[in-house]
Structure formats: C-alpha cells, structure tokens
RNA sequence: GCCCCCUUCGUCUAUCGGUUAGGACGCCAGGUUUUCAACCUGGAAAGAGGAGUUCGAUUCUCCUAGGGGGUACCA
C-alpha cells in the first residue's frame, strides 16, 4: 500500500482527505474542487485519502457517498484511494522514531488529572491545557496496569510560523500549543500524526483544506520539524456559512452533493457556483472547466467566510441548462426520476415515446427552467394522459367564459393543415384578433386545458409538441 | 476563558494609497413578447466604529465591536 516515494517526489500533488462519517457535504465538495483545480492547473495529481483512523465512526456507505459525489461533480482523483487505517503500521513506526529521538514520550495522566489541568488552564487564562507532567518524568514512575498514550514533545519556547497561501503568515506562540497525543493508549495513531506521515509518504506538495484545520497546521508543522521532513505548502480556505451567516445547517446547504443532484442542479453549475464562492478572477462569473483550470490560483481565494446562496446557484443552473443539449437534458431528467417525490415524478415515465416528446419540447422548456425539476414540471404535459387532472389554479381558470374561448378556438385549429409552429401561431393569433381578445385571454385557458397546470410554458410549443389530435382532444375535454 | 482568522451594496465579489468604489445574483422601474418564462434598458444599494501613518486612505498600523474557527485518547 505504501506508495513509492520516488515516483511521487516531483511535481504538484494535492489530496482530498475526507473522513468517511457522512456524505460529501458542500464544503468538502468545494475543498475537493480547489484541490482538483490546483492539481490540474499545475499538471499535478490529486489523490484521495479516506481518513478512517477513527474506525468507530467510519462507514462504507459514507465512503461510497463521497466517491459518488466526487464522480458526479467530475472531480476524478488520481490512482487508487488511500485508506488511512491501512497505514497504521507505518504510523506506529514513526511514533517509535519520535520516541527514539526523544521527541515523544509516554504519558500516564488520568482523565481526572487532565480535567484538573483543563480547569486550571482556564482559570489562569492559559491556552495550553496539558501541563507536561510526564514530559520529563522517569518512566520508572509509571503506574501499573495503565496503558499510556504517547505525546509529542512540542517546543516550549519560540513561535511556530506557517506561510499559508490563503491566510498569509500565521504565527502561533509555542507556549500556546501543548503536547498533543500522537498515539492512543491502544496504540492507534491520532489524526495529527497520521496526516503528517501520510502527506509526507504520499508526496503531497500542497495541502488545501478547510480553515478549521488552521490550528492543526501549526501542530503538524511542529511534527514535520521534529521529523526533519519538508513541510507542504498550506492553504486553508474559509468555511462556507449558511444564508443567515451562521454555521451551515441542513436548512441551508449542509446537504450531500447527491441532494443537489436530486434538486435538479447540473454538475457544471454547482462547480461554477462553488469555485466563485470565495474565489474570483476579476469580474468573471461564468467559467468553463478549462477556464477554471487556467485561471485558478491559491492567492485568489478570499480570506473571509462566504454564505451559501441558493438563488445565485439557481441562476447559474438556469444558465447551464439553457446552454445544454436537448437530448442530454432529457437524459439527465430521466435519470433523476427514480429518486423524485411523487409530486415531481411524471406519470407514464417508462414510456419511451414520452421522453422523445419531452426532447422535442426541450427548446422551449429549457429557456424557462432553473432546474431539471422545473423542466420536468413544465414538461409534464407530454406525460399525462386524458382526461387531465387539473391543479387547483388551472381548474379555477376554466370558467364558462374561458370554455367559450376554447370552443371558439377549435375551429381555427382544426383548419390548420400543416401542424407547424408558424401555422399554429397564425391560427391562434388570428382567432384572438377576430374575437378581439388579448392573447393572454386565450393563452391562459389554453395552457390550463392542455397541461392541467398553470406552470410556465410557451403555449405554441405545447400545441406543437402535443400534435394536432392530442391537442384538440384535450381542448374538447374541457369544452364539453 | 485562551489562541488563531475574518469584516466593501441584502448576497458572492473587484480594487493591490489617488476610481463618479466596478461586476454578478436578487430587488425596483420601464421596454419588448397582444401568453408564461426569457430577453433589453435604467435605478436604488457598500468600505463595522474609532484612532493613527500619509499630501492623500476602502487599501498600511493599532484599538473596539461583531462574526468564524480551534481549544478531544474526532477528523
């Protein structure tokens, strides 16, 4: 499992390193995107490392969800994924090394003692909690029957400085960092140790991750120094907040990327939205993947947290929908159907002919839809069979007056010889003119009669896609 | 509590000492479409507060306030 350091010692290597305790959330997706972009921009590689050191909280489902999410977003990692727990031996080896160098020691402090230290640190206004009680103590003092943890012997004086590509120079006084645990009493490594060892062994040159790791970076830098390993270039990107400025919660975006797919967003749109969230390139808003790769740079990332804005995402999504191929959109919408709620799932969706009709209607639909769901909703009329169910608003629209209008429209429509867009429009407009009605007065009931709904749709498109017979039949259903 | 980071229109952001502080989303008004949506034009809308440095601060420094992150035998 251990990679050949030689083959990886050159060039840019980034990594996305999620802990498999849940889905790939939006913040993780952006971190992955940044890592991917930076690797691509520099002809490097992005590795995937599953941080499953905490076996109890890691699940296979989470690993699948993360990989699916990355794939859907088009962020393919290089090579096989690494599993952190599989490198436990190597981690233990490094811990031994640190012990041998006198840069680590066994600590037998009890939970009670630790709790006391925490209290006094708090009371005295100190940042570091652990007081180093076993740091220089004679191992002969070790109590019987207690498995010790292993602590890193951190420097007591001076500063630890990190040159972060995003955050700038981060200086932390060493007195504020205590001796952290690098191996648990059962011998397993803890995160900060494992990360350092793995990043080093994998040849990671650039660590791009959430700003919640900023403090860890200082501690990791100390470990790198103790091991005399070269420190990777750090970039800590600000966290994403909810629309109310508070921490991301389920209400505003802390969803798995699969949820965004289900909501009908396109990967390209989400990518575009995510890359602009905290990063910018002048006044540019729309980026092709190639442009993102060309322009992406670490210092361009802002230092302040950004709020997640669904409305802007929708706008971007509408843009990408408008510029997508009709067949592609129909296929994407179709793939979505199984996971949709009853409300949005079109009837008779297993009928191939209906999807062909939807594709036919797509030029009109994609102009006015912000999500694939909206395409499905607005295009529902091709799936429904007669007699149509009316939604409440549409039903209300079809009063006596409206029915009279529809009745009057039958004759001119029947007279249409070639069922083309132009002729249909001519017939409808001609009728409206003759009856001295605004087009809206005709279009609204027509829309209701043909689609059963009042959702936005171009009425000439609807007539055309439905075909003469079906359209007339639906109108007659309402006139009677 | 302590440590670290952040603060330009409602939101995402541009600006890298001198600008009428620009763009995008959203919003408002008008236009176009004798339908919905789309589209076009115009508009309102910002440097958290206070001290410095400077001929000149949104930009540099400090303080305050507010927000975020960390402070685990989680990652």
Which nucleotide is closest, CA of A210 to its C1'?
Answer: B69
**For residue A196, which of A94, A107, A97 has the smallest C-alpha distance?**
A94
**Alpha-carbon distance values, A266 to A216, A260, A262, A378 (Å):** 35, 8, 10, 18
Q: pLDDT digits over A226-240, tens only?
A: 999 999 999 999 999
pLDDT at residue A6, rounded to an integer: 37
Find the Å distance, CA of residue A465 to C1' of nucleotide B75. 54
pLDDT of A247 higher than 80 = no
Mean pLDDT of A2-24: 73
Which residues are within 8 A (CB) of A438 and not within 5 positions of it... i.e. 6 or more apart? A432
Strand B atom within 7 Å of A367 CB = yes
Strand B atom within 7 Å of A336 CB = no
pLDDT at residue A437, rounded to an integer: 87
Strand B atom within 7 Å of A307 CB = yes
Which nucleotide is closest, CA of A130 to its C1'?
Answer: B71
| Mean per-residue pLDDT over chain A, rounded | 92
Find the Å distance, CA of residue A274 to C1' of nucleotide B9. 22
Which nucleotide is closest, CA of A364 to its C1'?
Answer: B37
Strand B atom within 7 Å of A92 CB = no
Enter the pTM of the model. Answer: 0.93
Strand B atom within 7 Å of A274 CB = no
Strand B atom within 7 Å of A273 CB = no
Mean pLDDT of A370-384: 95
pLDDT of A337 higher than 80 = yes
- Which residue in the list A6, A153, A247, A250 is annotated as catalytic? A250
pLDDT at residue A254, rounded to an integer: 64
Q: Token pair of A148, please?
A: 């010790």
Virtual torsion, Cα A366, A369, A374, A380, nearest 10 deg? -50
pLDDT at residue A114, rounded to an integer: 94
| Percent of the residues in chain A that have a pLDDT greater than 90, as a whole number | 79
Q: How far is residue A31's CA from residue A36's CA, in Å, rounded to a whole number? A: 9
Active site residue A250: yes
pLDDT at residue A54, rounded to an integer: 78
- To which H or E segment does residue A172 belong? strand A168-173
Find the Å distance, CA of residue A328 to C1' of nucleotide B45. 40
Angle, helices A60-73 vs A26-41, to 10°: value is: 50
pLDDT of A33 higher than 70 = yes
Q: pLDDT digits over A52-98, tens only?
A: 987 778 889 999 999 999 999 999 999 999 999 999 999 999 999 99
Mean pLDDT of A172-201: 95
User: In the 102-121 stretch of chain A, whose C-beta falls under 7 Å of nucleic acid strand B?
Assistant: 111, 114, 118, 121
Residue nearest to nucleotide B71 (CA to C1'): A127
pLDDT at residue A5, rounded to an integer: 37
A252 or A189: whose pLDDT is higher?
A189
- To which H or E segment does residue A159 belong? strand A159-164
Q: Within 7 A of a protein CB, which nucleotides of strand B?
A: 1-8, 10-14, 22-26, 34-38, 67-75
pLDDT at residue A346, rounded to an integer: 95
How many Cα neighbours within 13 Å face the side chain of A13? 21
Instruction: Find which of A117-131, A266-280, A447-461 is predicted with most confidence, using mean pLDDT.
Output: A266-280
Which nucleotide is closest, CA of A164 to its C1'?
Answer: B5
This complex has an ipTM of 0.94
User: In the 121-160 stretch of chain A, whose C-beta falls under 7 Å of nucleic acid strand B?
Assistant: 121-122, 125-127, 129, 149
């Amino acid at each position: 499992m251990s990679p050949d350091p030689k083959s990886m010692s050159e060039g840019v290597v980034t990594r996305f390193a999620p802990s498999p305790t849940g889905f790939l959330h939006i913040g993780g997706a952006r971190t992955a995107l940044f890592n991917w972009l930076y690797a691509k921009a520099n002809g490097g590689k992005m590795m995937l490392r599953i941080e499953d050191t905490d076996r109890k909280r890691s699940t296979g489902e989470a690993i699948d969800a993360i990989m699916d999410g990355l794939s859907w977003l088009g962020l393919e990692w290089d090579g096989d994924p690494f599993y952190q727990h599989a490198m436990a031996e190597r981690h233990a080896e490094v811990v031994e090394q640190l012990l041998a160098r006198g840069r680590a020691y066994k600590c037998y402090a009890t939970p009670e003692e630790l709790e006391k230290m925490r209290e006094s640190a708090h009371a005295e206004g100190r940042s570091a909690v652990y007081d180093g009680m076993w740091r220089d103590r004679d191992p002969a003092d070790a109590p019987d029957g207690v498995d010790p943890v292993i602590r890193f012997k951190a420097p007591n004086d001076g500063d630890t400085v990190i040159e972060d590509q995003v955050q700038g120079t981060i200086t932390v006084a060493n007195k504020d960092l205590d001796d952290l645990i690098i191996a648990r009493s059962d011998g397993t490594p803890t995160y900060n140790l494992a990360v350092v060892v793995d990043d080093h062994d994998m040849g990671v040159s650039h660590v791009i991750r959430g700003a919640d790791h900023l403090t860890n970076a200082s501690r990791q830098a100390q470990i790198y120094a103790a091991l005399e390993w070269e420190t990777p270039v750090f970039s800590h990107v600000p966290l994403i907040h909810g629309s109310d400025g508070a921490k991301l919660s389920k209400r505003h975006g802390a969803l798995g990327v699969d949820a965004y797919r289900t909501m009908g967003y396109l990967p390209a749109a989400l990518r575009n939205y995510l890359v602009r969230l905290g990063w910018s390139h002048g006044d540019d808003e729309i980026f092709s993947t190639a442009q993102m790769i060309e322009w992406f740079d670490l210092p361009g990332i802002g230092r302040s947290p950004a709020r997640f804005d669904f409305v802007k995402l929708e706008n971007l999504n509408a843009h990408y929908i408008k510029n997508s191929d009709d067949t592609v959109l129909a296929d994407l919408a179709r793939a979505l159907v199984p996971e949709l709620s009853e409300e949005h799932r079109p009837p008779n969706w297993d009928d191939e002919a209906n999807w062909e009709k939807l594709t036919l209607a797509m030029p009109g639909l994609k102009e006015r839809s912000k999500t694939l769901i909206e395409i499905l909703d607005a295009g529902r009329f091709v799936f429904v069979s007669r007699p149509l169910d009316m939604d409440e608003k549409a039903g209300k629209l079809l009063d006596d007056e409206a029915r009279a209008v529809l009745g009057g429209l039958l004759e001119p429509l029947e007279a249409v010889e070639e069922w083309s867009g132009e002729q249909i429009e001519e017939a409808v407009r001609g009728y409206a003119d003759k009856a001295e009605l605004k087009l809206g007065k005709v279009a609204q009931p027509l829309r209701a009669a043909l689609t059963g709904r009042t959702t936005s749709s171009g009425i000439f498109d609807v007539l055309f896609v439905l075909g003469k017979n079906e359209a007339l039949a639906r109108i007659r259903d309402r006139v009677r």
